[in-house]
Amino acid sequence: MNKQRQFVEQCKERKKTKNFAQELSQLLGVNVDAAYRRSRGVTQLTFDEINKMCKHYSVSFDSIINYEGRTVPFHYNPMFNEDFSMRQYLTDIRNQMEQLTMAKDSKITITATDIPYFRLFGFPSLRRFKLFFWQRSVLNLEEFQPQKFDIEKEEPEIDTISEDIFKFYHGIESTEIWAPETLDSTFKQIEYYIESGLFKDANTVISILDDLVLFLNQLEAEAMLAKKTYHRNAEHFTSNFSMYQSDIFMSNNSILASVGGSVYSYVSFNSFNSLMSFSPSFSEECQRWVEQIRVKSILLSDVSERLRYQFFQGLRNKIKTLKADFIK
Q: What is the pLDDT of residues 121-159, one digit of tens each?
A: 999 999 999 999 999 999 999 999 999 999 998 899 999
Q: Do 110 and 171 fall within a single domain?
A: yes
* 69 belongs to a structural domain: no
Residue 16 DSSP one-character state = -
In sequence order, the 6+-apart residues with CB closer than 8 A to the CB of 237 are 101, 167, 168, 170, 171, 228, 229, 230, 231
Does residue 22 share a domain with residue 90? no
Note the pLDDT of residue 31.
93
Q: Is the pLDDT of residue 189 over 60?
A: yes
Is residue 66 very low, low, confident or very high in pLDDT (cuts 50, 70, 90)?
Answer: low
Task: Give the residue from 164, 16, 157, 156 showing the smallest Cα distance to 97.
Answer: 164
The answer to the question of residue 81 being in a domain is no
Structural domain includes residue 70: no
Residues 105 and 29 in one domain: no
Q: Are residues 180 and 248 in the same domain?
A: yes
Interval 200-226: pLDDT, tens: 999 999 999 999 999 999 999 999 999
pLDDT, position 80: 85
Residues 159 and 300 in one domain: yes
Same domain, 59 and 93: no
Q: Looking at per-residue confidence, does 19 or 133 come out higher?
A: 133
Residue 1: per-residue pLDDT: 44
Task: Give whole-number Cα distances, 40 to 1, 11, 13, 23, 278, in Å.
Answer: 10, 13, 15, 15, 22
In this predicted structure, which of 37-46, 187-196, 234-243 has the lowest mean pLDDT? Answer: 37-46
29 domain residue, yes or no:
yes
The answer on 132 and 22 residing in a single domain is no
Task: Using DSSP, state whether 268 is helix, strand or coil.
Answer: strand
In a domain, 72, yes or no: no
Do 233 and 288 fall into the same domain?
yes
Domain that holds residue 31: 3-64
Query: At which of 64, 95, 115 does a domain end?
Result: 64
Considering the domain boundaries, does residue 75 fall inside one? no
Q: Is 2 left (phi over 0), alpha (psi -120 to 50) or beta?
A: beta
Same domain, 127 and 266: yes
What element of type H or E holds 9?
helix 3-14
Q: DSSP readout, 116-162?
A: -HHHHTTSHHHHHHHHHHIIIIIS--GGGTT--B-TT---HHHHHHH
Instruction: Verify that 31 and 168 share a domain, yes or no.
Output: no
More confident of the two residues 31 and 103:
31
Percent of the chain with pLDDT over 90: 59
Q: What is the pTM of this model?
A: 0.81
The answer to whether residues 162 and 26 belong to one domain is no
CA distance 21 to 34: 9
Is beta strand 173-178 parallel, antiparallel or unpaired with respect to 235-245? parallel
Domain annotation covers residue 77: no
Q: CA-to-CA distance for 93 and 272, rounded, in angstroms?
A: 12
Read off the pLDDT band of 67 (50, 70, 90).
Answer: low
Residue 202 lies in a domain: yes
The arithmetic mean of pLDDT across residues 55-61, rounded, is: 77
Structure confidence at residue 228 as a pLDDT band (50, 70, 90): very high
* More reliable by pLDDT, 80 or 309: 309
Contact 7, 1 (CB under 8 A): no
d(CA 65, CA 3): 8
- Average per-residue pLDDT for the chain: 89
Domain count, the chain: 2
User: Do 118 and 27 share a structural domain?
Assistant: no
pLDDT at residue number 2: 66
Res 62: pLDDT: 62
pLDDT at 69: 59
